[in-house]
Amino acid sequence: VDGKQGIVPADEEVANILRASGKPVVLVVNKIDSVNHEPNIYEFYNLGLGDPIGISAKNLMNLGDLLD
């Protein structure tokens, strides 16, 4: 999901499908380009998909957390 954009209706639709599937989900919040953007990830808890992992693919930040 896009950390700068926040939760959009499409995110909620996909989250509903994923929750209904009963399968494990890794929720990755991209575009968390600095520690100043980290508070943005907390709103994604509202999707009900577990703990979001904040990363910045562009700046290669926190990718190790994703790979773990």
The enclosing domain of 61 has a CATH number of 3.40.50.300
CA distance 53 to 26: 8
Containing domain of residue 42, as a range? 9-67
pLDDT of residue 35: 67
Is residue 30, in this structure, part of any structural domain at all? Answer: yes
pLDDT digits (tens, 9 = 90+) for 15-60: 999 999 999 999 999 998 876 656 678 999 999 999 999 999 998 8
Tally of domains within the chain: 1
* CA nearest neighbour of 45 among 22, 15, 66, 21: 15
pLDDT of residue 36: 65
Neighbouring-strand partners of residue 53 = 28
Domain assignment present for residue 3? The answer is no
Q: Give a yes or no: residue 1 inside a domain.
A: no
Q: At 26, which amino acid appears?
A: V
pTM score, two decimals?
0.84
